[in-house]
Structure 1
Amino acid sequence: MRPGFLALLLLAAPPLSAWGALGHRLLAVGALRDLPPGLAGWYRGREGEVADHAVDPDRWRASDPLEGPRHYLDSEAYGGPAAVPRDPEAAWARLGPAGFLRAGQVPWVIQARALDLVRAFQAGDRERVLLATAWLSHYVGDLQVPLHTTADSDGEGTGQAGIHARWESDLLARLEAQDPFRPEVRPAEPGPDPLGLPWRWLEEAYGLVEEVLAADRTAQAAAAAAGEPGYGPVYWALFEALQGARLRDRLTLSAQRTVDLVRWAWNAAGSPGAGL
Protein backbone atom coordinates (compact mmCIF):
# COMPACT_ATOMS: atom_id res chain seq x y z
CA MET A 1 0.00 0.00 0.00
CA ARG A 2 1.47 3.37 -0.98
CA PRO A 3 1.57 5.97 1.82
CA GLY A 4 -1.40 8.25 1.71
CA PHE A 5 -3.50 6.02 -0.54
CA LEU A 6 -6.57 6.38 1.65
CA ALA A 7 -6.28 10.15 1.32
CA LEU A 8 -7.24 9.77 -2.35
CA LEU A 9 -10.92 9.25 -1.53
CA LEU A 10 -12.68 11.71 -3.81
CA LEU A 11 -16.32 10.70 -3.89
CA ALA A 12 -19.04 11.19 -1.32
CA ALA A 13 -21.21 8.28 -0.24
CA PRO A 14 -24.30 7.96 1.98
CA PRO A 15 -23.16 8.08 5.63
CA LEU A 16 -23.97 5.50 8.26
CA SER A 17 -23.81 5.89 12.00
CA ALA A 18 -22.73 2.86 14.00
CA TRP A 19 -23.70 2.58 17.67
CA GLY A 20 -24.42 6.30 18.02
CA ALA A 21 -22.70 8.43 20.65
CA LEU A 22 -23.76 6.16 23.50
CA GLY A 23 -22.29 3.00 22.00
CA HIS A 24 -19.04 4.58 20.89
CA ARG A 25 -18.50 6.07 24.34
CA LEU A 26 -19.22 2.73 26.01
CA LEU A 27 -16.79 0.79 23.88
CA ALA A 28 -14.04 3.42 24.21
CA VAL A 29 -14.29 3.38 28.01
CA GLY A 30 -14.40 -0.42 28.00
CA ALA A 31 -11.24 -0.61 25.92
CA LEU A 32 -9.27 1.36 28.53
CA ARG A 33 -9.96 -0.99 31.44
CA ASP A 34 -7.34 -3.32 32.90
CA LEU A 35 -4.47 -2.14 30.72
CA PRO A 36 -0.87 -3.09 31.58
CA PRO A 37 0.65 -0.51 33.97
CA GLY A 38 2.99 1.04 31.40
CA LEU A 39 0.22 1.43 28.86
CA ALA A 40 -2.42 2.54 31.36
CA GLY A 41 -0.29 5.58 32.25
CA TRP A 42 -0.97 7.11 28.85
CA TYR A 43 -4.68 7.35 29.63
CA ARG A 44 -4.86 7.70 33.40
CA GLY A 45 -7.24 10.47 34.42
CA ARG A 46 -8.24 11.22 30.84
CA GLU A 47 -10.42 8.28 29.96
CA GLY A 48 -13.41 10.59 29.61
CA GLU A 49 -11.63 12.58 26.91
CA VAL A 50 -11.03 9.43 24.90
CA ALA A 51 -14.72 8.58 25.20
CA ASP A 52 -15.71 12.08 24.10
CA HIS A 53 -13.47 11.99 21.03
CA ALA A 54 -14.61 8.49 20.07
CA VAL A 55 -17.62 10.19 18.50
CA ASP A 56 -15.50 12.61 16.40
CA PRO A 57 -15.59 10.60 13.15
CA ASP A 58 -19.38 10.85 13.06
CA ARG A 59 -19.12 14.60 13.63
CA TRP A 60 -16.66 14.95 10.73
CA ARG A 61 -19.27 13.77 8.27
CA ALA A 62 -21.08 17.08 8.59
CA SER A 63 -18.16 18.94 7.02
CA ASP A 64 -16.28 16.22 5.12
CA PRO A 65 -18.20 14.49 2.29
CA LEU A 66 -15.44 11.87 2.09
CA GLU A 67 -15.98 10.63 5.64
CA GLY A 68 -19.13 8.57 5.12
CA PRO A 69 -17.49 5.68 3.18
CA ARG A 70 -14.82 5.27 5.85
CA HIS A 71 -17.38 3.74 8.21
CA TYR A 72 -18.49 0.68 6.22
CA LEU A 73 -17.71 -1.77 3.46
CA ASP A 74 -20.23 -3.23 1.02
CA SER A 75 -19.02 -6.81 0.79
CA GLU A 76 -21.24 -7.66 -2.19
CA ALA A 77 -19.34 -5.20 -4.37
CA TYR A 78 -16.42 -7.64 -4.27
CA GLY A 79 -18.43 -10.85 -4.43
CA GLY A 80 -18.53 -11.35 -0.67
CA PRO A 81 -16.29 -10.54 2.31
CA ALA A 82 -13.79 -13.32 1.62
CA ALA A 83 -13.11 -11.81 -1.80
CA VAL A 84 -12.23 -8.32 -0.56
CA PRO A 85 -8.53 -7.61 -1.32
CA ARG A 86 -6.37 -6.63 1.61
CA ASP A 87 -4.48 -4.19 -0.59
CA PRO A 88 -6.63 -1.09 -1.18
CA GLU A 89 -4.88 -0.43 -4.49
CA ALA A 90 -5.97 -3.88 -5.69
CA ALA A 91 -9.51 -3.08 -4.56
CA TRP A 92 -9.34 0.25 -6.36
CA ALA A 93 -8.19 -1.49 -9.53
CA ARG A 94 -10.96 -4.10 -9.31
CA LEU A 95 -13.88 -1.71 -8.82
CA GLY A 96 -12.51 1.43 -10.41
CA PRO A 97 -12.23 4.73 -8.52
CA ALA A 98 -15.95 5.45 -8.25
CA GLY A 99 -16.87 1.88 -7.32
CA PHE A 100 -14.12 1.65 -4.71
CA LEU A 101 -15.20 4.86 -3.07
CA ARG A 102 -18.89 3.95 -3.04
CA ALA A 103 -18.17 0.48 -1.59
CA GLY A 104 -16.55 1.89 1.57
CA GLN A 105 -13.11 1.59 3.15
CA VAL A 106 -13.45 0.77 6.86
CA PRO A 107 -10.93 -2.15 6.99
CA TRP A 108 -8.19 -0.01 5.47
CA VAL A 109 -9.10 2.95 7.69
CA ILE A 110 -8.65 0.71 10.74
CA GLN A 111 -5.20 -0.27 9.45
CA ALA A 112 -4.26 3.38 8.93
CA ARG A 113 -5.53 4.42 12.37
CA ALA A 114 -3.65 1.59 14.09
CA LEU A 115 -0.42 2.62 12.38
CA ASP A 116 -1.02 6.24 13.36
CA LEU A 117 -1.33 5.12 16.98
CA VAL A 118 2.03 3.35 16.71
CA ARG A 119 3.59 6.61 15.50
CA ALA A 120 1.92 8.57 18.30
CA PHE A 121 3.41 6.23 20.92
CA GLN A 122 6.81 6.45 19.23
CA ALA A 123 6.67 10.24 19.28
CA GLY A 124 5.82 10.25 22.99
CA ASP A 125 2.89 12.56 22.22
CA ARG A 126 0.20 11.91 24.79
CA GLU A 127 -2.40 14.18 23.19
CA ARG A 128 -1.96 12.42 19.89
CA VAL A 129 -2.15 9.02 21.59
CA LEU A 130 -5.47 9.92 23.21
CA LEU A 131 -6.98 11.10 19.95
CA ALA A 132 -5.59 8.25 17.87
CA THR A 133 -7.00 5.74 20.35
CA ALA A 134 -10.41 7.38 20.34
CA TRP A 135 -10.60 7.46 16.56
CA LEU A 136 -9.33 3.90 16.19
CA SER A 137 -12.02 2.71 18.60
CA HIS A 138 -14.70 4.31 16.45
CA TYR A 139 -13.82 2.51 13.24
CA VAL A 140 -13.20 -0.80 14.99
CA GLY A 141 -16.68 -0.48 16.48
CA ASP A 142 -18.18 0.31 13.09
CA LEU A 143 -16.84 -2.92 11.62
CA GLN A 144 -18.47 -5.03 14.34
CA VAL A 145 -21.95 -3.89 13.23
CA PRO A 146 -23.38 -6.44 10.77
CA LEU A 147 -25.25 -3.86 8.69
CA HIS A 148 -22.00 -1.99 8.04
CA THR A 149 -20.79 -4.87 5.90
CA THR A 150 -23.58 -5.09 3.33
CA ALA A 151 -24.85 -2.96 0.46
CA ASP A 152 -28.44 -3.09 1.77
CA SER A 153 -27.41 -1.48 5.02
CA ASP A 154 -30.86 -0.26 5.99
CA GLY A 155 -33.05 -3.15 4.85
CA GLU A 156 -34.69 -1.21 2.03
CA GLY A 157 -34.19 -4.08 -0.38
CA THR A 158 -36.04 -6.45 1.96
CA GLY A 159 -38.79 -4.04 2.94
CA GLN A 160 -37.24 -3.45 6.37
CA ALA A 161 -36.27 0.20 6.10
CA GLY A 162 -34.98 1.61 9.37
CA ILE A 163 -33.54 -1.65 10.69
CA HIS A 164 -30.10 -0.06 10.90
CA ALA A 165 -31.15 2.47 13.52
CA ARG A 166 -33.53 0.05 15.24
CA TRP A 167 -30.73 -2.44 15.86
CA GLU A 168 -27.68 -0.38 16.76
CA SER A 169 -29.18 2.78 18.27
CA ASP A 170 -32.78 2.21 19.39
CA LEU A 171 -32.23 -1.28 20.78
CA LEU A 172 -29.07 -0.20 22.59
CA ALA A 173 -30.85 2.79 24.13
CA ARG A 174 -33.66 0.52 25.37
CA LEU A 175 -31.21 -1.95 26.86
CA GLU A 176 -29.28 0.84 28.56
CA ALA A 177 -32.46 2.30 30.06
CA GLN A 178 -33.28 -1.06 31.63
CA ASP A 179 -29.83 -2.16 32.76
CA PRO A 180 -26.71 -0.06 32.08
CA PHE A 181 -24.16 -2.19 30.28
CA ARG A 182 -20.38 -2.02 30.40
CA PRO A 183 -18.33 -4.24 28.08
CA GLU A 184 -16.20 -6.79 29.89
CA VAL A 185 -12.85 -6.66 28.18
CA ARG A 186 -10.31 -9.44 28.45
CA PRO A 187 -7.16 -8.38 26.58
CA ALA A 188 -5.77 -11.04 24.26
CA GLU A 189 -2.79 -11.26 21.97
CA PRO A 190 -3.85 -10.17 18.47
CA GLY A 191 -1.66 -12.84 16.82
CA PRO A 192 1.01 -12.63 14.14
CA ASP A 193 -1.07 -10.58 11.67
CA PRO A 194 -2.80 -7.81 13.67
CA LEU A 195 -3.32 -5.57 10.65
CA GLY A 196 -5.09 -8.44 8.90
CA LEU A 197 -7.72 -8.68 11.64
CA PRO A 198 -10.26 -6.34 9.97
CA TRP A 199 -10.81 -8.89 7.20
CA ARG A 200 -11.61 -11.60 9.72
CA TRP A 201 -13.99 -9.22 11.49
CA LEU A 202 -15.61 -8.32 8.17
CA GLU A 203 -16.45 -11.94 7.39
CA GLU A 204 -17.73 -12.53 10.91
CA ALA A 205 -20.00 -9.46 10.95
CA TYR A 206 -21.31 -10.15 7.45
CA GLY A 207 -22.27 -13.62 8.57
CA LEU A 208 -24.72 -12.05 11.06
CA VAL A 209 -26.61 -9.87 8.58
CA GLU A 210 -29.39 -12.37 7.88
CA GLU A 211 -29.79 -13.10 11.59
CA VAL A 212 -30.46 -9.43 12.29
CA LEU A 213 -32.91 -9.12 9.40
CA ALA A 214 -34.70 -12.35 10.35
CA ALA A 215 -35.15 -11.15 13.94
CA ASP A 216 -36.66 -7.92 12.68
CA ARG A 217 -39.06 -9.79 10.37
CA THR A 218 -40.11 -12.09 13.18
CA ALA A 219 -40.74 -9.19 15.56
CA GLN A 220 -42.68 -7.26 12.92
CA ALA A 221 -44.83 -10.30 12.15
CA ALA A 222 -45.63 -10.80 15.83
CA ALA A 223 -46.57 -7.14 16.18
CA ALA A 224 -48.81 -7.32 13.12
CA ALA A 225 -50.50 -10.49 14.42
CA ALA A 226 -51.22 -8.66 17.68
CA GLY A 227 -52.71 -5.74 15.78
CA GLU A 228 -49.90 -3.44 16.89
CA PRO A 229 -49.24 -0.52 14.53
CA GLY A 230 -45.67 0.52 13.97
CA TYR A 231 -43.00 -0.50 16.45
CA GLY A 232 -44.60 -0.87 19.84
CA PRO A 233 -44.22 -3.06 22.92
CA VAL A 234 -44.84 -6.36 21.15
CA TYR A 235 -42.22 -5.65 18.49
CA TRP A 236 -39.61 -4.44 20.95
CA ALA A 237 -40.11 -7.20 23.48
CA LEU A 238 -39.48 -9.86 20.84
CA PHE A 239 -36.73 -8.00 19.01
CA GLU A 240 -34.90 -7.49 22.29
CA ALA A 241 -35.29 -11.16 23.18
CA LEU A 242 -33.88 -12.15 19.79
CA GLN A 243 -31.09 -9.60 19.44
CA GLY A 244 -30.35 -8.00 22.82
CA ALA A 245 -27.62 -10.49 23.74
CA ARG A 246 -26.18 -10.34 20.24
CA LEU A 247 -25.95 -6.55 20.34
CA ARG A 248 -24.18 -6.58 23.69
CA ASP A 249 -21.80 -9.23 22.42
CA ARG A 250 -20.91 -7.09 19.38
CA LEU A 251 -20.35 -4.08 21.61
CA THR A 252 -18.10 -6.12 23.92
CA LEU A 253 -16.15 -7.37 20.90
CA SER A 254 -15.77 -3.77 19.73
CA ALA A 255 -14.08 -2.86 23.01
CA GLN A 256 -12.08 -6.09 23.10
CA ARG A 257 -10.75 -5.66 19.59
CA THR A 258 -9.94 -2.03 20.15
CA VAL A 259 -7.81 -2.83 23.19
CA ASP A 260 -6.10 -5.65 21.31
CA LEU A 261 -4.99 -3.18 18.62
CA VAL A 262 -4.03 -0.56 21.22
CA ARG A 263 -1.84 -3.09 23.00
CA TRP A 264 -0.33 -4.15 19.67
CA ALA A 265 0.44 -0.54 18.72
CA TRP A 266 2.09 0.11 22.08
CA ASN A 267 4.21 -3.02 21.80
CA ALA A 268 5.11 -2.18 18.19
CA ALA A 269 6.29 1.25 19.41
CA GLY A 270 8.58 -0.39 21.98
CA SER A 271 6.21 -0.28 24.99
CA PRO A 272 7.12 3.29 25.93
CA GLY A 273 6.15 4.76 29.28
CA ALA A 274 3.96 7.84 29.30
CA GLY A 275 6.66 9.93 30.96
CA LEU A 276 4.15 11.68 33.16
Structure 2
Amino acid sequence: MVLSSAHTVKPIWGFYGHKKINRMAVFALPQEMIGFYKKNIEYITEHAVDADKRRYATKHEAVRHYIDIDHWGKIPFPEVPRQFDDALMKYGQLQLIDLTTLDTTNLSLKTVVNEEDRFDSSIEIMNGDQVWHSMKTVAFENFFKAHFKTQFYEDEWIVEGQVYDEIFETDKFVTGNKVLRFEDQFSHQGILPYHLESMFFQLRKAFIDENSEKVLRLSADYGHYIADSHVPLHTTVNYNGQLTDQVGIHAFWESRLPELFAEEKYDFFVGPADYIEQPRKYFW
Protein backbone atom coordinates (compact mmCIF):
# COMPACT_ATOMS: atom_id res chain seq x y z
CA MET A 1 0.00 0.00 0.00
CA VAL A 2 1.19 3.50 -0.84
CA LEU A 3 -0.74 6.63 0.06
CA SER A 4 -0.35 9.92 -1.76
CA SER A 5 -2.06 13.26 -1.71
CA ALA A 6 -4.56 13.84 -4.48
CA HIS A 7 -3.21 17.37 -4.86
CA THR A 8 -1.52 17.76 -8.25
CA VAL A 9 0.97 20.45 -7.24
CA LYS A 10 4.34 18.96 -6.29
CA PRO A 11 6.05 21.23 -3.73
CA ILE A 12 9.78 21.13 -3.21
CA TRP A 13 11.49 21.24 0.14
CA GLY A 14 14.82 21.55 1.95
CA PHE A 15 15.64 20.80 5.61
CA TYR A 16 12.83 23.00 6.90
CA GLY A 17 10.49 21.61 4.30
CA HIS A 18 11.21 17.96 5.06
CA LYS A 19 10.04 18.41 8.63
CA LYS A 20 7.02 20.40 7.53
CA ILE A 21 5.94 17.97 4.84
CA ASN A 22 6.28 14.92 7.11
CA ARG A 23 4.23 16.65 9.77
CA MET A 24 1.46 17.75 7.43
CA ALA A 25 1.34 14.34 5.74
CA VAL A 26 0.09 12.81 8.98
CA PHE A 27 -3.18 14.75 8.71
CA ALA A 28 -3.85 13.34 5.22
CA LEU A 29 -3.81 9.73 6.43
CA PRO A 30 -6.96 7.57 6.57
CA GLN A 31 -8.77 6.97 9.83
CA GLU A 32 -7.18 3.55 10.32
CA MET A 33 -3.68 5.06 10.41
CA ILE A 34 -3.93 8.62 11.66
CA GLY A 35 -4.22 7.67 15.33
CA PHE A 36 -0.87 5.91 15.42
CA TYR A 37 0.95 8.56 13.42
CA LYS A 38 -0.62 11.52 15.21
CA LYS A 39 0.48 10.04 18.51
CA ASN A 40 4.03 9.93 17.13
CA ILE A 41 3.92 13.10 15.04
CA GLU A 42 6.87 14.70 16.82
CA TYR A 43 9.07 11.71 15.97
CA ILE A 44 7.95 11.76 12.32
CA THR A 45 8.68 15.49 12.20
CA GLU A 46 12.06 15.57 13.92
CA HIS A 47 13.43 12.50 12.16
CA ALA A 48 12.39 13.70 8.71
CA VAL A 49 15.98 14.81 8.11
CA ASP A 50 17.76 11.66 9.31
CA ALA A 51 18.30 10.51 5.73
CA ASP A 52 20.14 13.74 4.90
CA LYS A 53 22.33 13.36 7.97
CA ARG A 54 23.37 9.89 6.80
CA ARG A 55 24.66 11.30 3.52
CA TYR A 56 27.91 12.11 5.30
CA ALA A 57 28.22 8.70 6.95
CA THR A 58 28.15 6.44 3.90
CA LYS A 59 28.71 6.89 0.18
CA HIS A 60 25.67 4.72 -0.51
CA GLU A 61 23.19 7.17 1.01
CA ALA A 62 23.45 10.17 -1.31
CA VAL A 63 22.39 8.28 -4.45
CA ARG A 64 19.09 7.37 -2.78
CA HIS A 65 18.00 11.02 -2.88
CA TYR A 66 18.06 11.66 -6.63
CA ILE A 67 18.21 10.22 -10.11
CA ASP A 68 19.80 12.08 -13.01
CA ILE A 69 17.26 10.48 -15.28
CA ASP A 70 17.99 12.76 -18.23
CA HIS A 71 21.49 11.27 -18.32
CA TRP A 72 19.95 8.06 -19.67
CA GLY A 73 17.70 9.43 -22.40
CA LYS A 74 14.55 11.45 -22.94
CA ILE A 75 11.04 11.47 -21.45
CA PRO A 76 9.45 8.99 -20.80
CA PHE A 77 12.81 7.15 -20.68
CA PRO A 78 11.55 3.83 -22.08
CA GLU A 79 15.08 2.48 -22.35
CA VAL A 80 15.67 2.65 -18.58
CA PRO A 81 14.63 -0.62 -16.88
CA ARG A 82 12.14 -0.12 -14.05
CA GLN A 83 13.58 -3.08 -12.16
CA PHE A 84 16.81 -2.18 -10.35
CA ASP A 85 18.72 -5.39 -11.07
CA ASP A 86 17.91 -5.04 -14.77
CA ALA A 87 19.24 -1.47 -14.77
CA LEU A 88 22.46 -2.53 -13.05
CA MET A 89 23.02 -5.31 -15.58
CA LYS A 90 22.18 -3.14 -18.58
CA TYR A 91 24.46 -0.24 -17.75
CA GLY A 92 27.18 -2.02 -15.76
CA GLN A 93 30.45 -3.48 -17.00
CA LEU A 94 31.40 -7.15 -16.69
CA GLN A 95 35.15 -7.74 -16.67
CA LEU A 96 37.50 -10.72 -16.81
CA ILE A 97 40.58 -10.05 -14.68
CA ASP A 98 43.83 -12.01 -14.69
CA LEU A 99 45.15 -11.70 -11.15
CA THR A 100 48.65 -12.74 -12.24
CA THR A 101 49.17 -10.20 -15.01
CA LEU A 102 46.42 -7.78 -13.89
CA ASP A 103 45.16 -7.72 -17.47
CA THR A 104 41.50 -6.69 -17.67
CA THR A 105 39.15 -7.68 -20.48
CA ASN A 106 35.80 -5.95 -20.82
CA LEU A 107 32.96 -8.32 -21.61
CA SER A 108 29.57 -7.22 -22.96
CA LEU A 109 26.12 -8.73 -22.51
CA LYS A 110 24.03 -9.40 -25.59
CA THR A 111 20.41 -10.50 -25.34
CA VAL A 112 19.26 -13.00 -27.96
CA VAL A 113 15.48 -13.40 -28.26
CA ASN A 114 13.84 -16.58 -29.50
CA GLU A 115 11.52 -15.34 -32.26
CA GLU A 116 9.23 -18.36 -31.82
CA ASP A 117 8.91 -17.77 -28.09
CA ARG A 118 9.43 -14.13 -27.06
CA PHE A 119 9.60 -15.14 -23.40
CA ASP A 120 12.54 -17.46 -24.12
CA SER A 121 15.75 -15.46 -24.38
CA SER A 122 19.45 -16.01 -23.86
CA ILE A 123 22.39 -13.93 -22.74
CA GLU A 124 25.58 -14.07 -24.76
CA ILE A 125 28.65 -12.85 -22.91
CA MET A 126 30.78 -11.33 -25.63
CA ASN A 127 34.55 -10.87 -25.72
CA GLY A 128 34.79 -8.45 -28.60
CA ASP A 129 33.02 -10.12 -31.51
CA GLN A 130 33.38 -13.59 -30.03
CA VAL A 131 30.85 -15.36 -27.82
CA TRP A 132 32.67 -16.12 -24.57
CA HIS A 133 29.74 -17.95 -22.99
CA SER A 134 26.00 -18.28 -23.62
CA MET A 135 23.19 -19.14 -21.20
CA LYS A 136 19.49 -18.62 -20.61
CA THR A 137 18.69 -15.08 -19.52
CA VAL A 138 17.07 -16.25 -16.30
CA ALA A 139 20.21 -18.23 -15.43
CA PHE A 140 22.42 -15.16 -15.75
CA GLU A 141 19.93 -13.01 -13.86
CA ASN A 142 19.89 -15.48 -10.98
CA PHE A 143 23.68 -15.62 -11.00
CA PHE A 144 23.93 -11.83 -10.98
CA LYS A 145 21.51 -11.43 -8.08
CA ALA A 146 23.08 -14.18 -5.98
CA HIS A 147 26.75 -13.42 -6.57
CA PHE A 148 27.17 -9.80 -7.69
CA LYS A 149 24.16 -7.90 -6.32
CA THR A 150 24.82 -9.28 -2.82
CA GLN A 151 28.09 -7.32 -2.90
CA PHE A 152 26.30 -4.05 -3.63
CA TYR A 153 27.77 -2.28 -0.60
CA GLU A 154 31.29 -3.57 -1.18
CA ASP A 155 33.98 -1.58 -2.99
CA GLU A 156 34.38 -4.32 -5.60
CA TRP A 157 32.02 -7.00 -6.87
CA ILE A 158 34.17 -10.07 -7.48
CA VAL A 159 33.22 -13.67 -8.27
CA GLU A 160 35.90 -16.35 -8.18
CA GLY A 161 36.34 -18.26 -11.42
CA GLN A 162 35.86 -21.60 -9.69
CA VAL A 163 32.42 -20.49 -8.49
CA TYR A 164 31.42 -19.56 -12.04
CA ASP A 165 32.62 -22.90 -13.41
CA GLU A 166 30.73 -24.84 -10.75
CA ILE A 167 27.46 -22.98 -11.32
CA PHE A 168 27.46 -23.16 -15.11
CA GLU A 169 29.41 -26.42 -15.43
CA THR A 170 32.10 -24.87 -17.62
CA ASP A 171 35.89 -24.98 -17.70
CA LYS A 172 36.43 -21.27 -18.34
CA PHE A 173 38.62 -20.89 -15.27
CA VAL A 174 40.38 -24.26 -15.08
CA THR A 175 43.70 -22.68 -16.02
CA GLY A 176 45.10 -19.35 -14.94
CA ASN A 177 44.27 -17.19 -11.96
CA LYS A 178 41.24 -15.26 -13.14
CA VAL A 179 38.09 -13.77 -11.63
CA LEU A 180 35.00 -11.99 -12.87
CA ARG A 181 34.39 -8.43 -11.75
CA PHE A 182 31.25 -6.35 -12.22
CA GLU A 183 31.48 -2.58 -12.16
CA ASP A 184 28.35 -0.66 -11.22
CA GLN A 185 28.18 2.19 -13.74
CA PHE A 186 24.57 3.07 -13.01
CA SER A 187 24.05 3.93 -9.34
CA HIS A 188 26.24 7.04 -9.26
CA GLN A 189 23.59 8.80 -11.37
CA GLY A 190 21.06 8.17 -8.60
CA ILE A 191 18.64 5.38 -7.69
CA LEU A 192 15.74 7.30 -6.11
CA PRO A 193 12.72 5.56 -7.75
CA TYR A 194 14.27 2.15 -7.11
CA HIS A 195 14.89 3.04 -3.48
CA LEU A 196 11.28 4.19 -3.09
CA GLU A 197 10.17 0.72 -4.12
CA SER A 198 12.64 -0.92 -1.75
CA MET A 199 11.44 1.29 1.11
CA PHE A 200 7.83 0.42 0.29
CA PHE A 201 8.48 -3.28 0.82
CA GLN A 202 10.51 -2.63 3.98
CA LEU A 203 7.73 -0.51 5.47
CA ARG A 204 5.04 -3.00 4.52
CA LYS A 205 6.98 -5.80 6.21
CA ALA A 206 7.39 -3.68 9.35
CA PHE A 207 3.61 -3.27 9.48
CA ILE A 208 3.08 -7.01 8.96
CA ASP A 209 5.57 -7.75 11.75
CA GLU A 210 3.83 -5.18 13.98
CA ASN A 211 7.21 -3.59 14.67
CA SER A 212 6.08 -0.09 15.62
CA GLU A 213 9.60 1.21 16.22
CA LYS A 214 10.68 0.17 12.75
CA VAL A 215 7.46 1.50 11.22
CA LEU A 216 8.19 4.95 12.64
CA ARG A 217 11.83 4.97 11.57
CA LEU A 218 11.03 3.83 8.04
CA SER A 219 8.06 6.18 7.77
CA ALA A 220 10.18 9.20 8.66
CA ASP A 221 12.77 8.18 6.07
CA TYR A 222 10.16 7.32 3.46
CA GLY A 223 8.59 10.75 3.77
CA HIS A 224 12.01 12.26 3.14
CA TYR A 225 12.70 10.27 -0.03
CA ILE A 226 9.19 10.84 -1.40
CA ALA A 227 9.60 14.57 -0.82
CA ASP A 228 12.94 14.48 -2.66
CA SER A 229 11.32 12.70 -5.59
CA HIS A 230 8.94 15.66 -6.01
CA VAL A 231 11.83 18.09 -6.45
CA PRO A 232 12.58 18.56 -10.18
CA LEU A 233 16.19 19.39 -9.35
CA HIS A 234 16.57 15.90 -7.85
CA THR A 235 15.83 14.36 -11.25
CA THR A 236 18.30 16.06 -13.58
CA VAL A 237 22.00 16.28 -14.34
CA ASN A 238 21.65 20.06 -14.09
CA TYR A 239 20.70 19.72 -10.42
CA ASN A 240 22.21 23.02 -9.28
CA GLY A 241 21.97 25.08 -12.45
CA GLN A 242 25.67 24.49 -13.08
CA LEU A 243 25.04 23.84 -16.78
CA THR A 244 22.86 26.92 -17.32
CA ASP A 245 24.72 29.60 -15.36
CA GLN A 246 22.28 29.30 -12.43
CA VAL A 247 24.61 27.92 -9.76
CA GLY A 248 22.94 27.95 -6.35
CA ILE A 249 19.40 27.53 -7.62
CA HIS A 250 18.99 24.22 -5.77
CA ALA A 251 19.27 25.66 -2.26
CA PHE A 252 17.34 28.78 -3.26
CA TRP A 253 14.48 26.75 -4.73
CA GLU A 254 14.04 24.07 -2.08
CA SER A 255 15.31 25.76 1.07
CA ARG A 256 15.31 29.54 1.00
CA LEU A 257 11.93 30.07 -0.67
CA PRO A 258 9.99 27.72 1.66
CA GLU A 259 11.69 29.24 4.69
CA LEU A 260 10.59 32.71 3.57
CA PHE A 261 7.08 32.04 2.33
CA ALA A 262 5.75 28.65 3.49
CA GLU A 263 3.98 29.75 6.65
CA GLU A 264 2.11 32.65 5.05
CA LYS A 265 1.84 31.79 1.37
CA TYR A 266 1.82 28.01 0.91
CA ASP A 267 -1.38 25.97 0.88
CA PHE A 268 -1.03 22.85 3.02
CA PHE A 269 -4.65 21.71 2.65
CA VAL A 270 -4.01 18.93 0.17
CA GLY A 271 -6.97 16.72 1.01
CA PRO A 272 -7.01 13.04 1.99
CA ALA A 273 -4.38 10.65 0.73
CA ASP A 274 -5.15 8.39 -2.22
CA TYR A 275 -4.50 4.67 -2.35
CA ILE A 276 -1.86 3.80 -4.96
CA GLU A 277 -2.58 0.50 -6.68
CA GLN A 278 0.72 0.22 -8.58
CA PRO A 279 3.57 1.76 -6.59
CA ARG A 280 6.31 1.16 -9.17
CA LYS A 281 4.31 2.77 -11.96
CA TYR A 282 3.48 5.70 -9.69
CA PHE A 283 7.11 6.23 -8.69
CA TRP A 284 8.16 6.42 -12.32
**Per the shorter chain, which TM-score range?**
0.5 to 0.7
**TM-score (norm. length: structure 2):** 0.60
1:65-144 equivalent positions in 2, closer than 5 A: 65-83=59-77, 84-96=80-92, 97-144=183-230
Residue 143 of structure 1, CA deviation:
0.7
- Name the structure where helix makes up a greater proportion of residues: 1
Number of aligned residue pairs: 181
Residue 98 of structure 1, CA deviation:
3.9
Query: Which of 156, 162, 185 is matched with 2:270 structurally?
Result: 185
Residue 80 of structure 1, CA deviation:
2.5
| Amino acid in structure 2 at the alignment position of 1:93 | M
> Who is 1:165 aligned against?
251
Residue 182 of structure 1, CA deviation:
5.8
> Who is 1:198 aligned against?
283
Q: Which runs of 5+ in 1 are unaligned?
A: 1-17, 200-276
> Who is 1:43 aligned against?
37
| Amino acid in structure 2 at the alignment position of 1:162 | G
Greater Rg by CA: 2
> Who is 1:273 aligned against?
none
Report which structure shows greater RCO (CA 8 Å, sep ≥6): 2
| Amino acid in structure 2 at the alignment position of 1:145 | V
Residues 154-202 of structure 1: CA deviation (Å, up to 9, x unaligned) = 111111111111111111111136x174622323434431232110xxx
- Name the structure where strand makes up a greater proportion of residues: 2
Tell me how far apart the structure 2 counterparts of residues 192 and 32 of structure 1 sit (CA, whole Å): 20
| Amino acid in structure 2 at the alignment position of 1:132 | L
- Assess if the C-alpha contact under 8 Å between 1:30 and 1:182 holds in 2: no
- Assess if the C-alpha contact under 8 Å between 2:276 and 2:282 holds in 1: no
SS at match of 1:67: helix
| Amino acid in structure 1 at the alignment position of 2:212 | R
Tell me how far apart the structure 2 counterparts of residues 36 and 161 of structure 1 sit (CA, whole Å): 41
Residues 59-115 of structure 1: CA deviation (Å, up to 9, x unaligned) = 001111111111000112220342232111221123224431211000011111111
| Amino acid in structure 2 at the alignment position of 1:27 | I
Q: Alpha carbon RMSD of aligned pairs, Å?
A: 1.8
| Amino acid in structure 2 at the alignment position of 1:20 | G
